[in-house]
């Protein structure tokens, strides 16, 4: 998620493919060496000859309600960083992650962004959480620093300016596929849509409603709830009165289990769906039998779809003694560091100074990244598109349900 300029495009893409053909240590090192990430650059220049670390800024929630995800995002990034640096870095230079806490709060996201730009001089910043991305965008555009979204899904992210891009598919990808599947394959005709009243939920809920109704269905309840709410009976009594045959909940991992638990307590037994934030074993552990037949989306291949994911998951469990929170998201974090490395490679090959502007030019020049965890990523303007995987909870486990291209 670098090779053009003086190197022919077809050769550059071949090098990228070699770089990411394996995750185990030996094959990764061999692949990185073959791709030339650790090779010195001919001709030199101050930036090529320097051994100073190449900085990648990271803003994630390390504390607060979203820290379970945020810290695991960073662990995934650090695993990728270790593999790259063990392979020699980029042109013999190590990569460095500078990680700052946002608590998933926009003001803290802006503060972190300012420090990474003005103090740490990071030309590229990896970030997530829709409200944080949207808050950081004006600074990225004003200061001309490349801001890459690695996990937020608000569709508006595609329209935040020239220096804001996404490596993660936005809600119009998986929610569109899910709403169509619900009507066409599950045969559901009446749906309720419950959503968190913030940047994560508002636009995504509208997409679900529009697509489901366009397919021929009827949204009989459309209810927002406060991000800090813990009691949902008023909203759920409206849902019960509307009598849908499907309920879609679009929230965060802190509130979705509470909504589902209170639904079941009020006797609502309808099947429930959500997006990839619901793909978390902790949710099942919290809900127990109430989670049965719960459908979630995933925008990354699972262990049954990609052997590299199996290797990655085994490594994670060995190092962390547990499963990751939100495996698909973690896969994107691993790949995002590789994207930043390939952008640095492209810039240094052209003997340019790594700045937000040159890194952006590299992103637009390369466009296609063969990422080991999530598959090919193609930068299409300010969007990316990936297959959508659906999973269903069966006997306390997420099981593959469908793949939607």
Q: pLDDT value at position 405? A: 82
Residue 14: pLDDT over 90: no
Residue 22: pLDDT over 50: no
DSSP 290: G
Both 164 and 176 in one domain: the answer is no
Both 268 and 400 in one domain: the answer is yes
| Any domain includes 189 | yes
CB 45 within 8 A of CB 26: no
| Any domain includes 235 | yes
Q: pLDDT value at position 46? A: 52
| Residue 394, token pair as written in the block | 């069966």
Both 159 and 16 in one domain: the answer is yes
| Residue 78, token pair as written in the block | 């650090």
CB 254 within 8 A of CB 61: no
Both 148 and 191 in one domain: the answer is no
| Any domain includes 380 | no
| Any domain includes 383 | no
Both 31 and 71 in one domain: the answer is yes
| Any domain includes 327 | yes
Q: pLDDT value at position 42? A: 38
List, for residues 294-326, the tens digit of each pLDDT value: 999 999 999 989 999 999 999 999 999 999 999
Torsion from C-alpha of 136, 142, 148, 149, nearest 10 degrees: 30
Both 114 and 67 in one domain: the answer is yes
| Residue scoring higher pLDDT (237 or 325) | 237
Give the count of domains, the chain.
2
Both 344 and 203 in one domain: the answer is no
128 Rama sector, left if φ>0, alpha if ψ -120 to 50, beta otherwise: beta
DSSP sequence for 89-123: -BTTB-EEEEEEE-TT-HHHHHHHHHHHHHTS--S
| Residue scoring higher pLDDT (95 or 20) | 95
DSSP sequence for 151-216: S---GGGGGS-TTEEESS--HHHHHHHHHHHHHHTS---EEEEEEESSTTTHHHHHHHHHHHHHHT
Both 189 and 200 in one domain: the answer is yes
Residue 15: pLDDT over 70: no
Q: pLDDT value at position 49? A: 59
| Any domain includes 394 | yes
| Any domain includes 4 | no
Sheet holding 164-166, edge to edge: 95-101, 54-60, 124-127, 146-149, 164-166
| Any domain includes 2 | no
Both 91 and 162 in one domain: the answer is yes
Q: pLDDT value at position 370? A: 83
First to last CA, the chain: 21
Q: pLDDT value at position 312? A: 95
Residue 241: pLDDT over 90: yes
Both 222 and 130 in one domain: the answer is no
Position 258 confidence tier, pLDDT thresholds 50, 70, 90 = very high
The CATH number of the domain where 178 resides is what?
3.40.50.2300
CB burial of residue 280 (10 Å; 0-12, 13-18, 19+): buried
Q: pLDDT value at position 37? A: 53
List, for residues 30-59, the tens digit of each pLDDT value: 444 444 455 444 334 455 556 899 999 999
Q: pLDDT value at position 281? A: 87
| Domain limits for position 22 | 9-169+304-373
Q: Mean pLDDT for the chain?
A: 90
| pTM, rounded to two decimals | 0.86
Both 139 and 181 in one domain: the answer is no
| Residue scoring higher pLDDT (302 or 23) | 302
Token pair 């996990």 is at which residue? 151
Residue 25: pLDDT over 60: no
- Give per-residue burial for 37-47: e unless 16+ CB within 10 Å, then b: bbeebeeeeeb
Both 39 and 126 in one domain: the answer is yes
């Amino acid at each position: 998620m670098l090779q053009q300029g003086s190197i022919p495009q077809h050769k550059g893409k071949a090098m990228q493919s070699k770089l990411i053909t394996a995750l185990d240590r030996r094959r990764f090192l061999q692949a990185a060496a073959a791709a030339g990430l650790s090779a010195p650059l001919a001709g030199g220049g101050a930036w090529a000859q320097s051994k100073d670390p190449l900085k990648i800024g990271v803003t994630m929630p390390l504390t607060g309600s979203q820290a379970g995800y945020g810290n695991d995002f960073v662990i995934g990034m650090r695993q990728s960083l270790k593999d790259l640096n063990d392979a020699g870095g980029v042109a013999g230079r190590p990569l460095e992650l500078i990680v700052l806490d946002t608590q998933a709060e926009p003001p803290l996201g802006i503060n972190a962004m300012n420090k990474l730009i003005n103090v740490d001089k990071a030309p590229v910043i990896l970030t997530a959480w829709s409200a944080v991305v949207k808050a950081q965008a004006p600074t990225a555009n004003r200061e001309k620093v490349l801001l890459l979204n690695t996990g937020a899904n608000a569709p508006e992210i595609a329209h935040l300016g020239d220096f804001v891009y996404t490596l993660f598919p936005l809600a119009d990808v998986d929610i569109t596929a899910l709403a169509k599947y619900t009507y066409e394959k599950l045969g559901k005709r009446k749906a309720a849509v419950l959503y968190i009243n913030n940047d994560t939920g508002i636009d995504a809920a509208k997409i679900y409603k529009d697509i489901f109704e366009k397919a021929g269905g009827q949204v009989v309840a459309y209810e927002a709830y406060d991000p800090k709410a813990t009691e949902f009976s008023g909203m759920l009594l409206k849902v019960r009165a509307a009598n849908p045959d499907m309920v879609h909940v679009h929230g965060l991992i802190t509130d979705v289990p509470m909504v589902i638990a209170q639904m079941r307590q009020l006797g609502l037994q309808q099947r429930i769906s959500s997006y990839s934030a619901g793909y978390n074993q902790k949710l099942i552990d919290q809900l127990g039998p109430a989670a049965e037949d719960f459908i979630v989306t995933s925008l990354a291949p699972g262990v049954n779809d990609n052997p590299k994911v199996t290797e990655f998951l085994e490594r994670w469990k060995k190092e962390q003694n547990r499963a990751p929170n939100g495996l698909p998201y973690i896969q994107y974090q691993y790949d995002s560091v590789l994207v930043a490395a390939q952008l640095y490679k492209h810039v240094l090959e052209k003997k340019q100074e790594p700045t937000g502007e040159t890194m952006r030019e590299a992103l637009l020049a390369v466009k296609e990244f063969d990422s080991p965890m999530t598959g090919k990523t193609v930068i299409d303007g300010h969007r990316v598109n990936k297959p959508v995987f659906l999973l269903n909870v069966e006997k306390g486990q997420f099981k593959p349900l469908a793949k939607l291209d």
